[in-house]
């Protein structure tokens, strides 16, 4: 079948599933097509990039097309990152596609190869399928050179060779010939290495080991009694966003899915924002998955060791400091809504909350007695470097957590995060018995707190404002109680929550802010802010309202339980990069606060 003969794909949506293993991740649409996958790592060149409309027609995807297909049903295998797609045809035929990236414990280590395994098996009738394997390279610029042997194809991508090994007749894949699926077939995508087992044995053993891994991982989560399915799916997805090689945690797997239709708010999120990563660590810690914290601290300490002076807000997964932003001209963008950006100029910004994020991500390391290697004095001394900078910049202007590109201010959230750095360092020092440092950090925390209370509370209305001596609101102020800066029953916090509800809430959704920024007035709500609002409502005693709103937000998840960055309040449609760690962190936090206890449920 030629490109010109192929029917155009339906309009893209974010009704996508995600598979991954800590090395790579892939997004699969509702009909079982791989539409996004970066190689050889989470930040690499997307060999499958049809999500962002490559200029080469109907390419950058990996389809398993059922002749006469009329219905598609998709689900995850319970408590795993194994995705199953069932396709049904008008003649009663049906097939099932099982997709996963192998991840298993092996020889005392985690096995996580650059690999995707697809198994396609007949379920009913006499299904005829066409396998369309059409990777691109150079961010959609060109088709890679292809070679083949008796049972494999090789694609020479930029920087990596992708090998496809199969037990299907090779011409059916090579030439995209329709064929009768009369037995299960297996397709293994991976590095250019000869497979040492038969494809069916390799696929079956890899699937069993991968399911065993995820089932064991989930079994030891401390999940809330209510909303278990939502929390488990969120937790698995967060785990998929941690890069095993270094411990870095990416903000999302995609680049340039716009925050709203036809806007320029198109950013590359395939990097490690230290702030976002700290939120992920705290969320997984809350569920008892502390290994992610230990791996992330390895990333942080390696990062700090290579840096002189100030720490930036975002780094590459391999510790890259400079993430030079450019456009990919051969990708038109999600639904053609470009530009598609590679890199992110946020690395150039000053975001003073990052130092508090570093300390907050590490705190549990010093107090959790379950850990094999808990934090000690050496780790505390390394953290103090971040604390010293937090103390130095606590009253200095920055771009803030919303990364304003055209203005700076002394943002309340950034100042509070500096306070948090000082406060937590005082607690750690006290726990370790380092009395002089405990006293120093306690004194500094008091001074920063007094300054914030003097400069960040509206003199007339009594609520917190977004910047010193300002009068605006933003959603980050909802975190003040969660950060233990202020008690939830403090009149100033209650007034803040109520004022934010009136100013920033649109129906069931909360905006970050409503004033125009460098790119105009925001059109979509930032999903984590809605969860922060739920959490804050519960904290001030409006629990029934919080539960109702939380259920509404859960209904906005896509059919597989995943969330992107934003929701359009008028349509309820998901927008922004996907899957978004921030949004899933918010879901876990709100569910944990709102859930009834296990004792009351059982």
Give the distance, in angstroms, between the CA of residue 52 and the centroid of all CA atoms in the same chain.
18
pLDDT at 516: 72
| Mean pLDDT of all residues in 128-143 | 98
Read off the pLDDT of residues 542-584 as tens digits, 9 standing for 90 and up. Answer: 999 999 999 999 999 999 999 999 999 999 999 999 999 999 9
Read off the pLDDT of residues 453-464 as tens digits, 9 standing for 90 and up. Answer: 999 999 999 999
Helix (H, G, I), strand (E, B) or coil at 37: strand
Yes or no: say if 285 and 234 are a contact pair by the CB < 8 Å rule: no
The correct CATH number of 220-601 out of 3.30.930.10, 2.40.50.140, 3.30.420.340, 1.50.10.10 is: 1.50.10.10
Of 138, 132, 139, 203, the residue nearest 173 (C-alpha): 132
Model confidence at 440: pLDDT above 90: yes
pLDDT at 599: 83
| Mean pLDDT of all residues in 269-297 | 95
| Percentage of the chain exceeding pLDDT 90 | 89
**Confidence band, pLDDT 50/70/90 cuts, at residue 129:** very high
Report CA torsion sign: 131, 136, 139, 140.
Answer: negative
pLDDT at 306: 63
Model confidence at 141: pLDDT above 80: yes
Rounded distance between C-alpha atoms, residue 576 and residue 565, angstroms: 5
Q: Write down the domain spans for the chain.
A: 17-217, 220-601
Rounded distance between C-alpha atoms, residue 501 and residue 116, angstroms: 45
**Confidence band, pLDDT 50/70/90 cuts, at residue 4:** very low
Rounded distance between C-alpha atoms, residue 152 and residue 164, angstroms: 5
Model confidence at 10: pLDDT above 60: yes
Yes or no: say if 250 and 317 are a contact pair by the CB < 8 Å rule: yes
**Confidence band, pLDDT 50/70/90 cuts, at residue 336:** very high
Residue 75, phi then psi, degrees to nearest 5? -160, 160
pLDDT at 396: 96
**Confidence band, pLDDT 50/70/90 cuts, at residue 142:** very high
SS3 content of the chain, % helix, strand, coil (to 5): 35, 20, 45
Residue 343, phi then psi, degrees to nearest 5? 90, 170
Instruction: For residue 119, count CB atoms less than 10 angstroms from its CB and return exposed for 0-12, middle for 13-18, buried for 19 or more.
Output: buried
Residue 543, phi then psi, degrees to nearest 5? -70, -45
**Confidence band, pLDDT 50/70/90 cuts, at residue 6:** very low
**Confidence band, pLDDT 50/70/90 cuts, at residue 519:** confident
**Confidence band, pLDDT 50/70/90 cuts, at residue 3:** very low
Of 408, 429, 297, the residue nearest 351 (C-alpha): 408
**Confidence band, pLDDT 50/70/90 cuts, at residue 2:** very low
275 to 52, 244, 270, 393: CA distances (angstroms): 27, 19, 14, 16
Rounded distance between C-alpha atoms, residue 277 and residue 184, angstroms: 40
pLDDT at 518: 72
| Mean pLDDT of all residues in 89-100 | 97
Read off the pLDDT of residues 467-503 as tens digits, 9 standing for 90 and up. Answer: 999 999 999 999 999 999 999 999 999 999 999 999 9
Question: 10 or 503: whose pLDDT is higher?
Answer: 503
Output the 3-class SS for 379-408. HHHHHHHHHHHHHHHCCCCECCCCCCCCCC
Show Cβ contacts of residue 32 under 8 Å, excluding neighbours closer than 6 positions.
Answer: 63, 64, 72, 74, 85, 87, 97, 99
Average pLDDT, whole number, for the chain? 94
**Confidence band, pLDDT 50/70/90 cuts, at residue 7:** very low
Report CA torsion sign: 272, 327, 154, 87.
Answer: positive
Model confidence at 60: pLDDT above 50: yes
pLDDT at 154: 97
77 DSSP 8-state letter: P
Rounded distance between C-alpha atoms, residue 272 and residue 319, angstroms: 9
Measure CA of the first residue to CA of the last residue in the chain; give whole Å: 57
Question: 520 or 174: whose pLDDT is higher?
Answer: 174
**Confidence band, pLDDT 50/70/90 cuts, at residue 9:** low
**Confidence band, pLDDT 50/70/90 cuts, at residue 592:** very high
pLDDT at 1: 39
Show Cβ contacts of residue 308 under 8 Å, excluding neighbours closer than 6 positions.
Answer: none
């Amino acid at each position: 079948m030629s490109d010109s003969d192929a029917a155009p794909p339906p309009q893209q949506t974010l009704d996508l599933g995600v598979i991954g293993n800590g090395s790579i991740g892939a997004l699969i649409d509702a009909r079982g097509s791989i539409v996004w996958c970066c190689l050889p790592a989470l930040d690499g060149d997307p060999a499958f990039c049809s999500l962002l409309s490559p200029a080469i027609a109907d390419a950058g995807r990996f389809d398993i097309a059922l002749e006469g297909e009329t219905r598609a049903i998709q689900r995850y295998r319970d408590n795993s990152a194994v995705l199953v797609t069932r396709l049904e045809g008008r003649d009663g035929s049906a097939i099932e596609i099982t997709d996963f990236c192998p991840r298993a414990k092996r020889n005392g280590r985690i096995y996580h190869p650059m690999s995707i395994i697809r198994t396609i098996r007949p379920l009913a009738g006499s299904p005829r399928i066409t396998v369309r394997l059409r990777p691109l390279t150079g961010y959609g610029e060109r088709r890679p050179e292809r070679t083949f042997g008796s049972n494999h194809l090789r694609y020479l991508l930029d920087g990596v060779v992708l090998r496809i090994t199969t037990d299907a007749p090779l011409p059916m894949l090579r030439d995209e010939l329709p064929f009768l699926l009369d037995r299960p077939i297996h397709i293994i995508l991976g590095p250019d290495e000869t497979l040492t087992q038969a494809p069916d044995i390799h696929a079956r053993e890899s699937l069993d080991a991968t399911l065993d891994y995820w089932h064991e991982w989930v079994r030891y989560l401390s999940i809330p009694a209510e909303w278990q399915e939502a929390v488990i799916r969120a937790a698995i997805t967060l785990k998929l966003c941690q890069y095993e090689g270094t411990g870095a945690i990416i903000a999302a797997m995609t680049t340039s899915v716009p925050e709203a239709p036809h806007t320029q708010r198109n950013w590359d999120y395939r990097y490690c924002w230290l702030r976002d990563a700290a939120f992920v660590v705290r969320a997984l810690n809350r569920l008892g998955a502390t290994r992610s914290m230990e791996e992330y601290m390895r990333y942080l300490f390696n990062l700090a060791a290579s840096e002189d002076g100030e720490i930036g807000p975002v780094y590459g997964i391999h510790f890259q400091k400079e993430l030079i932003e450019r456009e990919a001209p051969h990708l038109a963008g999600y639904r053609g809504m470009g530009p598609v950006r590679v890199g992110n100029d946020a690395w150039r910004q000053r975001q003073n909350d990052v130092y508090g994020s570093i300390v907050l991500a590490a705190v549990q390391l010093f107090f959790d007695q379950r850990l094999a290697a808990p934090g000690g004095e050496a780790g505390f001394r390394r953290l103090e470097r971040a604390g010293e900078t937090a103390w130095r910049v606590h009253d200095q202007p920055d771009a803030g957590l919303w990364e304003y590109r055209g203005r700076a201010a002394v943002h309340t959230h950034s100042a509070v995060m500096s306070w948090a750095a000082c406060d937590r360092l005082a607690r750690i020092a006290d726990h370790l018995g380092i009395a002089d440092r405990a006293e120093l950090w306690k004194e500094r925390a008091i001074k920063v707190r007094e300054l914030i209370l003097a400069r960040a509370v509206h003199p007339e209305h009594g609520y917190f404002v977004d910047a010193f001596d300002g009068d605006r609101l933003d959603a980050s102020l909802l975190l003040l109680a969660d950060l233990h800066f202020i008690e939830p029953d403090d009149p100033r916090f209650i007034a803040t929550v109520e004022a934010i509800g009136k100013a920033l809430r649109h129906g069931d959704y909360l905006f970050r802010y409503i004033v125009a920024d460098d790119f105009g007035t925001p059109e979509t709500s930032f999903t984590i802010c809605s969860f922060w609002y739920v959490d804050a409502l519960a904290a001030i005693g409006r629990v029934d309202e919080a539960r109702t709103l939380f259920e509404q937000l859960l209904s906005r998840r896509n059919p597989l339980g995943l969330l992107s960055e934003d929701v359009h309040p008028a349509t309820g449609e998901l927008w922004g990069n996907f899957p978004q760690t921030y949004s899933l962190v918010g879901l876990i936090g709100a569910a944990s606060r709102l859930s009834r206890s296990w004792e009351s449920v059982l």
